[in-house]
Amino acid sequence: MKAKGVITLSILLWSTVSVFAQNEEDALRYGRQLTPSSGRSWGMGGAMGALGADLSSFFTNPAGIGMYKRGNAEMSLGLTDVRSNAAYMGQQSTDFSTRLELNSFGIVGGQKENDKGISFNFGVAHVKSNQFAERVRIEGLTTNSSILDVFSGQAGSIQSDLLANELPFGAGAAYSVGAIKPSDDSLFYFPSAQGEVQQMKNIVRRGNTSITAFGLGMGIKDKLYLGLVINFHGSRFTQNSDHRETYQSDQAIQEFTYSDDLTSDGTGFSMRLGAILKPSKWLRVGAAIQTPTVITIREAWNVNTT
């Protein structure tokens, strides 16, 4: 991960902390979804839409559920290895996160083909469609910028007794610990520390998005297969961020830390229909359609300054 200038960018973003709405980070985080798959499907390059009888059928073409000839249980493990490299003020920082996880599992059961050539299978599958695990560390020594400069400009000419209500997640939080101070005429604010500053930012992200699918597949004379899947979507994301600045010993304050914690939970719903036709032994044709996903996300944000 290239993070040159990330601290400066983060400081600029903090100047808009009073705005509560979806932003580009939310869109990128929840909009990027990996196509759920099984080990067998990965080996086929994902070309399982018309083959069926695989866990991936729940998330590509549910008609494939009807192609199971007997009960089946599947699971797959995954190794997540995320590394970040940051360059800031000429200083290099590296952090990484490695973990072994259960990525997917499912079970399918059903009844044998009856005298009319019709069979039914049903099952449930659960997969993780995205991972948010990440650790980022950024640090450097500078005389050009400080988060206190941003908070001072953000406070403007607001009366000090109103800062906590007007800017509770930014300048108000900094003022409450003496990191910024008003001028004698109260027309502006200035940082309690200036000059050389050692900056360090740590970001830890955790969580994932997942899909739990309940499916029904139907086979008709081993020629036509139909399927329906109901998907329940879930998401869990946490981000813990600490921005710490250390100043020279002759300043009014020697250290300032701005910490913010974000917790997000979401639930959603979608449906998928599919069909597979076998006109001959060497040809299969598959098609599927999915409804839009409706998801509700709840977020909680907490800020702490010391």
- For the chain, 306 residues long, give each residue's pLDDT as a single digit of tens: 444 443 333 333 333 333 445 666 777 777 776 666 666 766 666 667 778 888 888 988 999 999 888 888 988 887 777 788 888 888 888 887 777 888 889 999 988 888 888 999 999 999 988 888 888 999 999 887 899 999 999 998 898 889 989 999 999 999 999 999 998 887 899 999 988 999 999 999 999 899 999 999 999 998 999 999 999 999 999 999 999 999 988 888 999 999 999 999 999 999 999 999 998 888 889 999 999 988 898 999 899 999
Alpha helices, H only, the chain: 6-14, 24-31, 39-43, 147-155, 163-166, 171-176
For 187, residues 6+ apart whose C-beta sits below 8 A from its C-beta are 157
Q: What is the pTM of this model?
A: 0.78
Q: Which residues pair with 257 in a beta bridge?
A: 244
Query: Do 165 and 226 meet the contact criterion of CB atoms below 8 Å apart?
Result: no
> What are the two backbone dihedrals, phi and then psi, of residue 152, each rounded to the nearest 5 degrees?
-65, -45
> What are the two backbone dihedrals, phi and then psi, of residue 64, each rounded to the nearest 5 degrees?
-65, -20
**What pLDDT is stored for residue 42 in this prediction?**
64
**What pLDDT is stored for residue 108 in this prediction?**
93
d(CA 217, CA 66): 4
**What pLDDT is stored for residue 258 in this prediction?**
95
Query: Do 193 and 247 meet the contact criterion of CB atoms below 8 Å apart?
Result: yes
d(CA 88, CA 94): 12
Query: Do 236 and 276 meet the contact criterion of CB atoms below 8 Å apart?
Result: no
**What pLDDT is stored for residue 38 in this prediction?**
67
**What pLDDT is stored for residue 46 in this prediction?**
63
Residue 214, Cβ neighbours under 10 Å: how many?
14
In eight-state DSSP terms, residue 178 is: T
Measured between alpha carbons, how far is residue 55 from residues 33, 35, 222 in Å?
Answer: 18, 12, 19
> What are the two backbone dihedrals, phi and then psi, of residue 40, each rounded to the nearest 5 degrees?
-65, -40
Query: What count of Cα atoms within 13 Å lies in the side-chain half-sphere of residue 243?
Result: 19
Query: Do 230 and 236 meet the contact criterion of CB atoms below 8 Å apart?
Result: no
**What pLDDT is stored for residue 36 in this prediction?**
66
**What pLDDT is stored for residue 243 in this prediction?**
94
Q: Which residues pair with 82 in a beta bridge?
A: 97
d(CA 18, CA 182): 21
**What pLDDT is stored for residue 12 in this prediction?**
35
Q: Which amino acid is at 59?
A: F
Q: Which of 106, 104, 107 is closest to 129 using CA atoms? A: 104
Measured between alpha carbons, how far is residue 85 from residues 6, 132, 135, 249 in Å?
Answer: 12, 17, 10, 31
Query: What count of Cα atoms within 13 Å lies in the side-chain half-sphere of residue 117?
Result: 6
Q: Which of 29, 108, 99 is closest to 65 using CA atoms? A: 108
**What pLDDT is stored for residue 216 in this prediction?**
95
**What pLDDT is stored for residue 132 in this prediction?**
86
Query: Do 97 and 135 meet the contact criterion of CB atoms below 8 Å apart?
Result: yes
What are 194's two structure tokens? Answer: 């200036």
The H or E element containing residue 139 is strand 134-142
